[in-house]
Structure 1
Amino acid sequence: MTLSKQRARWLLVALPVVALGAAFAYVAGALAPDRLTPTTYVRQLEANAGVHPGYRRNHAKGLCVDGYFDSSGAAAALSSAAVFAPGRTPVVGRFSIPGGNPLASDGKALVRSLALQFTADDGQQWRMAMISSPVFVVSRPEAFIELLRAQAPTAASGKPDPARVSAFFAQHPETAAFRAWAGSHTPSDSFANTQYNSLNSFFLINDHGRRQAVRWSFVPQTPFAPGAADAGDDFLFDDIAARLAQGPLRWQLVLQLARPGDPVDDATHAWPASNPHIGAGTLVLTGGAPRAEGACRDINFDPLIVPQGVVPSADPLLAARSAVYARSFDKRIGEQAQAEGQQ
Structure 2
Amino acid sequence: MSQAPAPRRRTGAYVAIAAIVAAVGGAFAWTAGWLTPDRLTAARMTDAIEATSTTPYPGFRRAHAKGICVVGHFDGTPEGAALSRARVFADTGTPVLGRMSIGGGSPYGLDAQARVRSMALVLNGADGSEWRMAMNSFPFFGAASIETFFEQTRASAPDPATGKPDPERMAAFAAQHPEAQRFAAWAKSAPWSDSFANTQYNGIHAYRFAGDRGEQLVRWSMRPQAPFVEMTAAQREAAEGNYLQDELRARLAAGPLRWDMVATLAGPGDDASDPSTPWPEGREQVVVGTVVLTQAQDQASGPCRDLNFDPTIVPGGVALSDDPILAARAAVYAQSFDRREREVARGADVDGTPPAEAAR
Pairing partner for 2:19 from 15, 19, 33: 15
- Deviation of residue 19 (structure 1)? 3.8
- Deviation of residue 122 (structure 1)? 1.6
Q: Which residue of 2 aligns with 1:3?
A: none
Partner letter of residue 178 of structure 1?
F
Q: Deviations over 1:85-112 (max 9, x none)?
A: 1422110000111111111122321111
After TM superposition, the structure 1 stretch with the greater mean CA deviation from structure 2, 235-244 or 26-35, is 26-35
- Deviation of residue 17 (structure 1)? 3.5
Distance 2:35 2:332 in 1: 13
Q: Which residue of 1 aligns with 2:3?
A: none
Distance 1:45 1:258 in 2: 32
Partner letter of residue 60 of structure 2?
Y
Pairing partner for 1:159 from 157, 164, 168: 164
1:55 aligns to 2:63 (yes or no): no
- Deviation of residue 151 (structure 1)? 1.0
1:69 aligns to 2:74 (yes or no): yes
- Deviation of residue 153 (structure 1)? 0.9
CA contact (8 A) 2:111 2:242 kept: yes
Distance 1:31 1:163, change over 3 A: farther
Q: Which residue of 2 aligns with 1:248?
A: 256
Distance 2:305 2:32 in 1: 26
After TM superposition, the structure 1 stretch with the greater mean CA deviation from structure 2, 77-86 or 251-260, is 77-86
1:214 aligns to 2:222 (yes or no): no
Q: Which residue of 1 aligns with 2:281?
A: 273
Partner letter of residue 274 of structure 2?
D
- Deviation of residue 25 (structure 1)? 3.4
Partner letter of residue 136 of structure 1?
F
How much identity, in percent, do the aligned residues show?
50
CA contact (8 A) 2:217 2:272 kept: yes
- Deviation of residue 10 (structure 1)? 4.9
Partner letter of residue 56 of structure 1?
R
For the residue of structure 2 that corresponds to 1:282, the secondary structure is: strand
Q: Deviations over 1:295-337 (max 9, x none)?
A: 1111101011000110111111112211100000011112223
After TM superposition, the structure 1 stretch with the greater mean CA deviation from structure 2, 58-67 or 218-227, is 218-227
When the two structures are aligned, how many residues end up with a matched partner?
Answer: 335
CA contact (8 A) 1:23 1:320 kept: no
Pairing partner for 1:307 from 300, 311, 315: 315
For the residue of structure 2 that corresponds to 1:87, the secondary structure is: coil
Distance 1:47 1:176, change over 3 A: closer
Distance 1:189 1:73 in 2: 33
Normalising by structure 1, we get a TM-score of 0.92
Partner letter of residue 226 of structure 2?
T
Distance 1:340 1:112, change over 3 A: closer
Q: Deviations over 1:155-202 (max 9, x none)?
A: 221111111111111111122331221121111111000000010000
1:135 aligns to 2:136 (yes or no): no
| Cα RMSD for the two superposed structures | 2.1
Kindly report which structure 2 residues correspond to 1:187-336, keeping only aligned pairs within 5 A, or say none.
187-206=192-211, 210-227=214-231, 228-229=235-236, 230-336=238-344
Partner letter of residue 297 of structure 1?
R
Normalising by structure 2, we get a TM-score of 0.88
Return 5+ residue gaps in structure 1 as ranges: 1-6
Distance 1:28 1:64 in 2: 31
Pairing partner for 1:174 from 163, 179, 182: 179
CA contact (8 A) 2:205 2:219 kept: yes
Distance 2:28 2:292 in 1: 31
Distance 1:340 1:329 in 2: 14
Distance 2:316 2:51 in 1: 38
Pairing partner for 1:40 from 19, 26, 44: 44
- Deviation of residue 44 (structure 1)? 1.9
Partner letter of residue 26 of structure 1?
W
CA contact (8 A) 1:23 1:42 kept: no
- Deviation of residue 30 (structure 1)? 4.7
